[in-house]
Amino acid sequence: MKIVVCVKQVPDTKGGVKFNPDGTLDRGAMLAIMNPDDKAGLEAALRLKDEYGAEVTVVTMGLPKAEEVLREAMAMGADKGILVTDRVLGGADTWATSTTIAGALRNIDYDLIITGRQAIDGDTAQVGPQISEHLDLPVISYAKDIKIEGDYVVVQRQYDDRYHVLKAKMPCLVTALSELNEPRYMTPGGIFDAYDAEITVWGRKDLKDVDDSNLGLAGSPTKIAKASDKVRKGAGEVKKDLDADGAVSYIMDKLKEKHVI
């Protein structure tokens, strides 16, 4: 079985964010990690590899430094890494990103594609389902359990108040929730091997059946009109030196003042 896992290098949102003058994100200026949902997807793929035997290829699109997440994935147990990077791909929205990744995946064989549900920078959850549409594959989003039964994948798909057990014929695409599992650590031997491993690097010319008009910032239907740091609601009062009785009467007074009680 051949499994492709799509991962994204994302800025760690705890460290604050920076913008380029054109309103797009300045990813180079932020600390970078493997997106958590993608890491869960990778772990799911590695577990399928452990159980059924599989070749796991990790694909990422990004700046040249995104190679780091491929090496991390290989140190965890992935077999191959493909980096899709090219200046003309920059500033892509989810349509242009999914078009690009689909163009890369048309070059390789797969039975199952796993992506994370969403990335912590954009929080859109759109790229996985959009890739599946471009490749004309069945899609199952929000997976909290993934099993293989012959030519089929059987997935628990989470909804608000229920889950569906879904069965799809492979090839298909599944998007993983971070609740799916606890990703393994890199092994020392794995880190050593991953450091030396060959990473395949693809650019624009390597994308198959993709029109230039659908790539990068220019090929993105959505355009940023304005981006800014969020204006936070102003702080109210904080009482630091009240004992429990004082704190209770303070809260009671405010609840009365606001006619809550």
Partner 1 sequence: MGLEEYKGVYVFAQQVDNELSGIAFELLGKAKELAKDLNTDVTAMLLGSGVKGLADQLAEYGADKVIVVDDPELKDYRTEPYAHAVSSIINEYKPEIVLVGATAIGRDLGPRVSARVATGLTADCTVLEIGDFPLNPVPGQEQKHNQLLMTRPAFGGNTIATIACPDNRPQMATVRPGVMQKIDPVQGAKAEVIEFNPGFTPNDKYVEIVEIVKEISNTVDIMDAKILVSGGRGVGSKENFQILQDLADVIGGTVSCSRAVVDNGWMPKELQVGQTGKTVRPNVYFAIGISGAIQHAAGMEESDIIVAINKDETAPIFEIADYGVVGDLNKIVPKLTEELKKVVK
Closest to partner 1 by CB, 187 vs 248, is: 248
Q: From CA 181, how far away is CA 160, in angstroms rounded?
A: 19
User: Is 28 one of the binding residues for partner 1 (CB under 8 A)?
Assistant: no
**What are phi and psi for residue 8, nearest 5 degrees?**
-130, 135
User: Is 235 one of the binding residues for partner 1 (CB under 8 A)?
Assistant: yes
Please give the structure tokens belonging to residue 125: 């959850």
Q: From CA 189, how far away is CA 160, in angstroms rounded?
A: 41
Q: Per CB under 8 A, which region of 53-61, 75-83, 133-141, 180-188 contacts partner 1?
A: 133-141
- To which H or E segment does residue 78 belong? none
Q: Which amino acid is at 63?
A: L
Q: Which residue has the tokens 């090496």?
A: 71
Q: Per CB under 8 A, which region of 50-58, 66-74, 83-91, 241-249 contacts partner 1?
A: 241-249
Closest to partner 1 by CB, 196 vs 237, is: 237
User: Is 64 one of the binding residues for partner 1 (CB under 8 A)?
Assistant: no
Which of 1, 2, 17, 111: binder of partner 1 (CB under 8 A)?
A: 17
Handedness of CA 91, 94, 96, 100 (dihedral sign): positive
Task: Kindly identify the residues of this chain, within the stretch 97-116, that bind partner 1 according to CB under 8 A.
Answer: 98
Smallest separation (angstroms) from partner 1 to the CB of 239: 5
Angle, CA of 235, 237 and 239, to the nearest 5°: 135
Task: Kindly identify the residues of this chain, within the stretch 160-219, that bind partner 1 according to CB under 8 A.
Answer: 160-169, 172
Q: How many binding residues for partner 1 (CB under 8 A)?
A: 81
Q: From CA 73, how far away is CA 8, in angstroms rounded?
A: 11
Which of 188, 205, 209, 232: binder of partner 1 (CB under 8 A)?
A: 232
